[in-house]
């Protein structure tokens, strides 16, 4: 596990000399913030020294003091083999009229080093914009990759919606967000949008996401009398809305999981073959198979 080090000048003296103890981590200094305008700001920092290789460096910023990897937005500039200054234009994740705290960072094999914190008043930045997504057809809980621009890496700053339902955040970069399809959507087609927290600015894709219809792989037993318990196994059964019908008579579901529905054969059905219908959302998300009433 990497150790966290806040860059500062710490001098340890022996009784006989004033030699600085050897540092096995980089030293980072945040220089400041310039060119603050309505589309972003320029961040400046530098690596003062580093006895070890730097595997990543960049900037962290947050509207609370002491931004950390765990809570802040981030610009990663990758590995660095030389000392000296570095800078990056930040064009995302900044609300107008809000104070932010920024600092440079460097990552070595065993440490994450934070520079000093610099504060500035934001004039705003570019909003997130969705461009595309894949796959176009999937099921509840599947991971969807969204591409675009000006995304936040923070799970709280950019909220992805499938219609009115909030998707489950997986991870993100400035041009990619991965989320899981929410379990409480029920329409075959849903609109995907991204909402910037704080501003409410929304970007919506022109192509709708399509849910997979359910599939039945087995029904056990394959025939039974009214009142018997039947176990239906299949694929794409993860919806929070599940209905089972024998012909037009709705069955009582006694238990269900991601791929299994347990239900009771309803009373009043005549002997012979009936249509067993499983619905996992609204009218278009269904599948049928035959079942024999004894």
Cα(56)–Cα(106) distance, rounded to whole angstroms?
A: 6
Express each pLDDT in 178-222 by its tens digit: 999 999 999 999 999 999 887 788 999 999 999 999 999 999 999
Cβ pair 87, 44 in contact under 8 A: yes
Express each pLDDT in 210-256 by its tens digit: 999 999 999 999 999 999 999 999 999 999 999 999 999 999 999 99
- Confidence (pLDDT) at 75: 95
Domain 3-121 belongs to what topology? Immunoglobulin-like (2.60.40)
pTM of the model: 0.79
Say which residues have a Cβ less than 8 Å from residue 113's Cβ, sequence separation at least 6: 4, 5, 6, 7, 25, 26, 27, 28, 105, 106, 107
Domain spans of the chain, in order of start:
3-121, 129-211, 215-293
Domain 215-293 belongs to what topology? Immunoglobulin-like (2.60.40)
Q: Are strands 189-190 and 209-211 parallel, antiparallel or unpaired?
A: antiparallel
- Confidence (pLDDT) at 70: 85
Cβ pair 190, 211 in contact under 8 A: yes
Cα(192)–Cα(185) distance, rounded to whole angstroms?
A: 12
Q: In the structure, what pLDDT confidence band is assigned to residue 39 with cuts at 50, 70 and 90?
A: very high
Cβ pair 193, 121 in contact under 8 A: no
- Confidence (pLDDT) at 19: 40
CB atoms within 10 A of CB 10: 9
Domain 129-211 belongs to what topology? Immunoglobulin-like (2.60.40)
Q: Coil, strand, or helix at residue 136?
A: coil
The reply to whether domains 129-211 and 215-293 share a CATH topology is yes
Q: How big is the CA angle at 67 (ends 63 and 68), to the nearest 5 degrees?
A: 140
């Amino acid at each position: 596990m990497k150790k966290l080090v806040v860059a500062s000048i710490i001098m340890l003296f022996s009784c006989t000399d004033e030699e600085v103890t050897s540092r096995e981590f980089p030293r980072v200094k945040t220089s400041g913030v310039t060119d603050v305008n309505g589309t972003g700001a320029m961040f400046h920092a530098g690596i003062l020294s580093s006895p070890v290789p730097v595997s990543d460096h960049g900037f962290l910023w947050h509207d609370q003091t002491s931004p950390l990897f765990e809570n802040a937005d981030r610009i990663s500039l990758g590995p660095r083999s030389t000392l000296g200054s570095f800078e990056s234009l930040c064009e995302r994740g900044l609300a107008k009229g809000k104070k932010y705290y920024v600092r440079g960072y460097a990552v070595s094999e065993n440490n994450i080093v934070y520079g000093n914190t610099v504060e500035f008043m934001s004039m705003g930045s570019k909003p997130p914009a969705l461009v595309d997504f894949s796959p176009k057809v999937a099921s509840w809980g599947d991971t969807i990759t969204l591409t675009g621009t000006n995304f936040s890496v923070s799970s709280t700053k950019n909220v992805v919606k499938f219609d009115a339902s909030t998707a489950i955040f997986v991870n993100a970069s400035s041009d990619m967000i991965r989320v899981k399809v929410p379990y409480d959507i029920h329409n075959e087609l849903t609109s995907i949008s991204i909402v910037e927290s704080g501003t409410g600015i929304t970007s919506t894709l022109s192509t709708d996401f399509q849910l997979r219809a359910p599939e039945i792989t087995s029904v056990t037993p394959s025939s039974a009398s009214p009142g018997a318990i039947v176990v239906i196994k299949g694929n794409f059964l993860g919806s929070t809305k599940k209905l089972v019908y024998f012909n037009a008579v709705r069955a009582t579901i006694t238990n269900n999981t991601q791929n299994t529905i347990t239900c009771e054969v309803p009373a009043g059905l005549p002997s012979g073959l009936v249509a067993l219908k499983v619905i996992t959302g609204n009218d278009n998300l269904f599948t049928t198979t035959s079942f024999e009433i004894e």
